[in-house]
Structure 1
Amino acid sequence: MLFRFLLAVFILSIFAGAAFAAEEKATVTGSVVNIRSSPSLEAKVISKVARGQELEVLGQEGEWYRVKLPTGTVGWIAGSLVELKKQAAMTGVKIKVDGRLISFDVEPYIDAQSRTMVPIRFVANELGSQVFWKQAEQEVVITGNDRIIQLWIGQSLARVNGKEVAMDTVPVLKNGRTMVPLRFVSDNLGVEVTWDGATRTVLLQKVKAPGKGGETGTGTMAKLAVVTGNVVNIRSGPGLEYEVINQVVKGDALTVLGQSGDWFQVETRNGGQGWIANWLVVLRTVQNQASRSAEPEDRPRPAPPLYTGANKLLDIEAKDLEDGLLVTVVGAHPLNYSHFSLTNPRRLVLDFLNTTLELDWEGDYLPVNNELVGAIRVGQFTEDQARVVIDLKDLYSAGFSLSEDGKRLTVKIQPPTVKGKTIVIDPGHGSIQPGGWSDPGAVGPNGLYEKDVVLDIGLKVADLLTKEGASVVLTRTGNTVLSLAERAQVANEINADLFISIHANASPSPSLAGTATYYYAPWNSQLATQRAAREKLARCVQQELVRELQRRDIGILEENFSVLRNTTMPSVLVETAFISNPEEEGLLSQEAFRQKAAQAIVRGIIRFFAEP
């Protein structure tokens, strides 16, 4: 105790002249906590705060504290859901990076644990790292120096490359900004930290990366930016105002040469250089070290096509089945083909490479009177590529088979099924919190609770899937004591085929509206092997929701949500609509809209299993 006191006196003497203030703070310990108009559970909820949020304490009445939020709102919070402390805040700290003095819009400070706290944006802009903020989980993810650092607001336990590490302080939300401990982050990013007591300055020295074209030596690290957007622009400078000089596509790996703010300077495979936005790539670190030259058979090679010479399509036939249609395409030589699906309207497209049309029937349209197929269209898509399009009336399952000589392709189109599949449905929120209250999720402007809306949609989804022959497990049918990780574990333990988490979106801006579906499968994790399946599931569900609900298509997005990170099977998190938007809150309150959302989710699931 005496040592801690002397240490505190020593620190104060070092920082003589710095601004110092002691004020009573309440740190929120519950996940999402209500702020009420008076000190009573019956009082009106006027706001909500998340775990780790620091609130200024203005007074006390019984077991309730009167607090002031960063927004200026004043209200009451239950004492059982906060941790009270006197926070010593010491300002006047200067920070230099590689000798350059850094200016801040939110000043760094020394917290009560004598740790320098800095805004998270500083880590991204000045320490050359990527930073991601996960609002739902109050989580900060920092990537750099071959490290993935995970921090949670209000928690002293962090993770570095998946390993738990204890800190002697906690990240906080201060005046609406995320503040993190500089020493802990810097050490794990390989940044040298020293203290100049005379000038009260933290000195940071970044480790220099090997120069381009120089010798990297054995065991040095190089960074690749793997493109995650479908088609992404390469610009002449680090910003959207710069000219587009090139384009790259999803999966391209670009060598990282440098960074400026939220932009990476990269080199493409053809040797060109430019800048790419960091939110459209993920970083991978590779080892540059000598190894034997690859043997000719070491590299996986694509299987050779059945036939590479010129080909002709001679005939297309359609035969009704009891529950579908059999389509046969005949070529003069073994067929070299590919296929893909389109929506709005539904189509199955077959492309035949190095092939021209020489059909024994006239026209480009083969009418079909079938419950699943409306017509078969054919055309010369390019000079050396023939295309067959099968127009579909409903969801379908397609099976492909080639004859032994490869000249006859048979496509069997039937109704899809989820019969026998095990699917876990997770209606979001509704978790019992410390103190016995249930997490309502977001609350609409007219008081609609997200947990109630998504539970109703989830129950409807479960009912529809059960009627289709699937085995369905719900993570909750009311309130639940399961944590997010435990919800995922439910699916893992029963070896489920799919996990679907259902939510309603929210934003401080009431004008935001639309539908989005999330998946998670980073390239540098074990989930990468499921990336194609998870992205496909998200795409199928999102397309069906947009088609059915007719809301703005936000698209499919990738986020590190707990239920997606911890599930071992394909999983998605659906944001049906914005409960914070008055119009969409009204729609979510309607039984018919919720039924449509459930039907769309089920159709997306069926498509996932059905479509190639």
Structure 2
Amino acid sequence: MKKTGLMLFMLICMFAFPGLGHAAGSTNIYLDGKALNLPKNGEVQNVNGNIMIPIRVVVEELGFNVNWEKVTRTVTIKQADTTLKLVVGEKTATVNGNKMNLLVAPILKSDTTLVPLRFIGEQFGLTVHWDNAAKTAYLVTPGDNNSGGDVDPGNGGTTEPTPPTTPPVTDENLASIGGISFSDNKLMIATDKNVTPNIFKISGPERIVIDIPNTKFADTFSNILDSDKNGYLDVEGYPAVSKIRYSLYSNSPSTIRFVIDLNQAQNYKLTNDNDGLVIIDLNSDSTSSGRKLVVIDAGHGGSDPGAISVTKKKEKDFNLAVTLKVEQLLKKETQFDYVLTRSGDTYPSLKDRVKIAEDMNADIFISIHANAGSATASGVETYYTRKESLALANVMHKYLVASSGLTDRKVRTKSLHVTRETTMPAVLLECGYLSNPKDDAILFTESFQNNVAEGIVKGIKEYLGIQ
């Protein structure tokens, strides 16, 4: 696509958040170093805290073929071989007949359609900068060097480049992304094949973007993606991070994009040893802390619900709820570190869970589950496989019995993948029976989950010899 075509494509595909805005003082817009002529109704707008740019001004400057259908409130824009259609009030646009999801519906202010600066840079590779002091928006199309400074996407540049055009890759050859997790200020992405991520930073607001070409979402993501293959992971308890977003960013090549929304500028370290685990570490000290590392594994997840309770609740939800409560407690601990194999409703494979623990050189591995069996079976069990794990199993089980208040069904040995294939001490905790009406009645209560989470943390600390 020509430079001007790409520019309009970027500007059209996202519109303002609902609500009236106000002009951000006397404003200016520069496109590739050229000041655009702004009519009275062409001021940059501040809409609910978002800096917005009027698309009509840019369209007129670039001279595209634009058609407005008043009855249907549809805008059609054509340039070369690209046709865009969007409707005011609707959250989808079409690009050459293909639907594109919009975060919010287009709006009109007077006779001007407004679009946010953020989306321009985030979705389509345009360098975008808002100078609040000068009330000036700078827009630079790819390949133009008049941005007032060099842009290096791999080293903190402000642009999010469009994935490079490469020969088609068949679906069978794409790497599947099977799970993501954010804990210990690290984003971990599990894949089943070698991948080559492209990672860079954007300002205004601050984000870290990770594009992984030649990838697709595994089937385990099906229940947490919307119809346009977008999803997100809420993040709590980390001052620098507000949310993790992910989507199928491009079909040519098939590219999955992850965006770490930041509350402040943040450095990162990318680790990709072509072993199926991509780690983006946001800790300022990228060297080893020398502290012990604990891996907490919430069993099942995503399209794998685990056991189903007598009241039709899902084991995966219990496992994750307890794990997140454990995480909140572990954040207060300063003498050891921790990592979660999943922090949302995704499904890293059993192999992925082991790989996370092995690649992070974990000291212990704890998998959290709930059991199922006969309606009369009740109580808690702790499983281990290798003899090196017995001491951990005994300590963790002692606290599981005390914190749950359920029947002690003892420490048991069993050949389970996550306790067998890990090389550090590893246990699997069965925190009650979903198939038992009495156990089921308390498993999903806040008080039970909080108690079990506290017991798990106490067990970890005793085993590690931490007061």
Query: Normalized against structure 1, the TM-score is what?
Result: 0.28
Bigger Rg over Cα: 1
Higher RCO, Cα 8 Å, sep 6+: 2
Structure (1/2) with the larger strand percentage: 1
Structure (1/2) with the larger helix percentage: 2
Query: Normalized against structure 2, the TM-score is what?
Result: 0.37
